[in-house]
Amino acid sequence: MTESDTIAPAKTRLLDAALKVIRTKGYVATTLDDLCTEAGVTKGSFFHHFKSKEELALAAVEHWNTLTGGLFAQAPYTQIVDPRERVLAYIDFRSAILQGELPDFTCLLGTMVQETFETHPRIRDACEHGITLHARVVAADIAAAKAQYAPDAPWQPEDVALYTQAAIQGAFILAKARGSAEIAANCVAHLRRYVASLLGIVQDAEPGLPTNPIARGATGKTTKKR
Amino acid sequence: MTESDTIAPAKTRLLDAALKVIRTKGYVATTLDDLCTEAGVTKGSFFHHFKSKEELALAAVEHWNTLTGGLFAQAPYTQIVDPRERVLAYIDFRSAILQGELPDFTCLLGTMVQETFETHPRIRDACEHGITLHARVVAADIAAAKAQYAPDAPWQPEDVALYTQAAIQGAFILAKARGSAEIAANCVAHLRRYVASLLGIVQDAEPGLPTNPIARGATGKTTKKR
DNA sequence: GACGCCATACCGACTGGTTGGTATGGTTGC
DNA sequence: GCAACCATACCAACCAGTCGGTATGGCGTC
């Protein structure tokens, strides 16, 4: 903040390195030397900023929440007025960001919690908090859409929001197993179809693959705020 | 097979230990000492049966495929004649086995592939193979149901089968984050609803929670084979 | 504005314990 | 006697974490 922005400070570089390396190798396999090399700092610098590897992990989750929170808050789909369209555009957005290498778009929290849920309760809690946080944001839009288009439906917006997160996390696992993002896009397309049906959209029975959210264009077709 | 069944041989005990410990702590965090202690054998015995930790992991995946393959092959839902009912009963079965502690019902393959997809290509391939294997079994039932109830629908049985696996894997991640199986059951209930709708079942708009597959009873209501 | 003072940031060699893996020798069944 | 099976002792590499130290810059004092 107060510093000049010529080059990011060591702490930020370490946090960015953590996101990258942990998403690639997992938390346990990531060594402090890995992180220091990636960040271009030394061990001394690491322990100046973080008390332990676990403390870094907790800080990395915070960092992740900040970055992804900003990404979704500033995404174009948030400008869509109609809540049902907004929810579907959110899912389209999740599909659209499946770009680059696997560690570039998979989720830090889902990756870490698998390794740590029994052994590192603080990390597990942090991951749970991050996932729940995002699910709440999604749930708000779903609730608005439900109120307008399916007020009497028997499902809860929070449950559906959590289900969207589960489907996306599972899509990441399949993508990692296959070494390709393609299957993840397929899963998100099915998720979209389901959420659309929950919100009262009857699927047109056109022949072909499931609706491809990228191809149909996530934005530009509906009214925007302001 | 050829041995007497007084006590399981060391190799089997090691494989069973691997399933348990790896599902609890993850692959990387699992040490050979952990496995040997859990199995009640020594390091010498371990390296007599397995060339390395990675070889054990590959054998553990094989072991997993055998066990789970048998579990699903012998499950009561396979006796249901109507393919659509059979598919839904499969999903109900997936919900019904969400019992006990988290490491008891979560998936070895999904857990391992998250840690190893970039660092241990052989393990990743083994996990991919196991998941695809099971998905193919599910896809066969889905294809039969589609042929009968939704022959002109635009989706592919294989894609839907993979989606079911993604949703279930994601449900495990949420369950681990929350430390409870409850959320996983919620996710599987949503998955059931989606697959039912794909197969032409219009959801009754009864008020209340999403359809609970356990409560409605997975078996005993429909015609059985033989 | 020179000086002493101290906090923050960063460095890198070192350590004690752990890990995957090896070497070797003993025991059992055929 | 010999091959499969298992145990003990051991090793080199690696790991998280420690520690003594340097560089820098802000701040008060005279």
A214 or B40, greater pLDDT: B40
d(CA A161, CA A213): 18
Looking at the predicted structure, is the pLDDT value of residue B213 above 80? no
DSSP letter assigned to residue B224: B
Looking at the predicted structure, is the pLDDT value of residue A123 above 50? yes
d(CA B91, CA A212): 26
Nearest to B177 among A102, A127, A208 (CB): A127
Residue B216 has a pLDDT of 42
Q: What is the pLDDT of residues B127-141, one digit of tens each?
A: 999 999 999 999 999
Q: pLDDT-based confidence at A212, cuts 50/70/90?
A: very low
d(CA A145, CA A80): 12
Residue B221 has a pLDDT of 41
- Inter-residue long-range contacts of B102-105, CB under 8 Å, 24+ positions, other chains counted: B102/A117, B102/A118, B102/B175, B102/B176, B102/B179, B102/B181, B103/A118, B103/B20, B103/B23, B103/B24, B105/B181
Q: Which residue of A has its CA nearest to B162?
A: A187
Contact assessment for residue A141 and residue A87, using Cβ atoms and an 8 Å cutoff: yes
What six digits make up the tokens of A128? 């749970």
State how far residue A203 is from chain B, nearest Cα, in angstroms. Answer: 10
Residue A178 has a pLDDT of 97
Q: What is the pLDDT of residues A125-152, one digit of tens each?
A: 999 999 999 999 999 999 999 999 999 9
Q: Which residue of B has its CA nearest to A125?
A: B177
Q: Is the CB of A10 under 7 A from strand C?
A: yes
Q: What is the pLDDT of residues A26-84, one digit of tens each?
A: 999 999 999 999 899 999 999 999 999 999 999 999 999 999 999 999 999 999 999 99
Q: What is the mean pLDDT of chain A?
A: 88
Q: What is the mean pLDDT of chain B?
A: 88
d(CA A94, CA A12): 26
Looking at the predicted structure, is the pLDDT value of residue A2 above 60? no
Looking at the predicted structure, is the pLDDT value of residue B98 above 60? yes
DSSP letter assigned to residue A224: B
Is A190 in Cβ contact with B163 (below 8 Å)?
Answer: yes
Q: What is the pTM of this model?
A: 0.88
